[in-house]
Amino acid sequence: MNAVTEHNALTEPGAAGFLQRFEGLRARLPGRGLPWLEAMREAAAESFREQGFPTRRVEAWKYTDLAPLKEAGFGEALTPVDSAIPLPRAAAPRRVVFVDGRFSAELSDPDAPVRSLARHLDAAEGLLGSLARNDGVPLAALNTALFEDGALIDLADGEDGGIVEILSVVRADRPVALHPRHLVRLGAGAKLVLIERAWGHGESRYLHSPVLEFQVAADAHVTHVRIQQEARAGIHLSTVFAKVAEKGTYDSFLLHAGARLARAEAHVTLAGPFSAAHLDGAQLVGDGQHADCTTFLDHAAPDCPSRQTVKTVLAGRSRGVFQGKIHVHQIAQRTDGYQMNQALLLSDQAEIDSKPQLEIYADDVKCSHGATVGALDETQLFYLRSRGIPEAQARSMLIEAFLLDAVETVRDETARAALVEVVSGWWERTAA
């Protein structure tokens, strides 16, 4: 089966090119004939027209420059969707596959509790756009205007969705831009482990810009593991919105391990008493790469704990960014928030920008944050070498120990194993 479209010309660079693309595709985008969706797309396009791409003058984008995105023109993917696509080993018992932003039924497990959003837009009314903001988040606005497909997961009260992998494969032989939209709703007491993986091929520059919306009802629990393994020339800009009701839990782990330029942004609201969030992660940043983990955690109810630990390893001429903001509303008494960023620099040309933030309006809280930056421990390195371990292997062992300490926070064994597979041997592959 081929998924080929007519509008395949490269657009002009910058925001104008994406708006031009919207004008050319608007009559053929999924949801034509649904007034609520057409109005949503028009409003999003207008919002993006007013804002454009964020610049470094915007405080939240101070450390990440989108110049590589603004300078390039991107077209629409023309990749055939067929079973001949080489795929990585499955990370979960059930997997659904998107190829160049489009759902592939041939490559997906029919038993997975996942539907194609493009084919079930009627079921998305009231859910799509319920969390994602246009103003102040221009990439979300752009996604709303241009998305063509995505995953729809809607679990009933008490339903256990098990472990599911969403694999997004990008095969770029030309500059393309993809904007998948994934929607996840968990009813009261529902459970889900979601492994979301971006896997890129090809040497061309491309943009992969997914947006995910999570609605987590009372007593529901979702584990969301994001593994970013884009092609080396790729640009990955993802945005997550999550709203957690009373006694619900949103557990997440982000692993950056690819792309020339990567930024993962998360907006999480603890909306009900005793709800909880864990936003952990690791960034593996090699020579010439830029990785950014930015989070906004909104404590909007009392008695809510949150935890965040992000570790970054940087090699060669690379740059890592961590920005984490905890906002505690006046009503959010007895908040318990913790935030830590740790960076390991393997080169004197590497750079880390760390900006943990607390904004507190309640008086009965326990909140702390911190950041550490350092190099490999020479004493530990000497100890390993004195035991006959070659220097390269000794360095790799210390780096893996640093990273695996972060991965251990993931409770689900299947999800943790998928992370360990990527982390293990990273230094040998980078240094080779």
- For 52-104, the pLDDT digits (tens) are 999 999 999 999 999 888 777 787 765 555 556 788 899 999 999 999 999 99
pLDDT: which is higher, 228 or 21: 228
pLDDT tens digits for 350-374? 999 999 999 999 999 999 988 999 9
Task: Decide: helix, strand or coil at residue 260.
Answer: coil
Give the pLDDT of residue 2: 39
Q: In 10 A of CB 89, how many CB atoms?
A: 6
pLDDT of residue 17: 87
pLDDT at 70: 75
* pLDDT class of 12 with cuts at 50, 70, 90: low
Q: Could you give the C-alpha distances from 279 to 183, 385, 402, in angstroms and in order?
A: 19, 36, 18
Q: How confident is the model at residue 119 (pLDDT cuts 50, 70, 90)?
A: very high
Which tens digits make up the pLDDT trace of 23-39? 888 888 998 889 999 99
Mean pLDDT across the chain: 91
Residue 205: which pLDDT band, with cuts at 50, 70 and 90? confident
* Percent with pLDDT over 90 in the chain: 75
Domains of the chain, residue spans: 14-271, 377-432
Q: Give the pLDDT band of residue 175 (cuts 50, 70, 90).
A: confident
Of residues 234 and 391, more confidence is placed in 234
Enter the pTM of the model.
0.93
- Rounded to an integer, the average pLDDT of 129-143 is 94
Contact 94, 111 (CB under 8 A): yes
Between CA 285 and CA 318 the distance in angstroms is: 6
What's the pLDDT band for 176 if we cut at 50, 70, 90? confident
Identify the pLDDT of residue 390.
87
- Supply the pLDDT for residue 209: 96
Residue 377's pLDDT band, with cuts at 50, 70 and 90, is: confident
Q: Which residues pair with 221 in a beta bridge?
A: 191, 249
| pLDDT for position 384 | 87
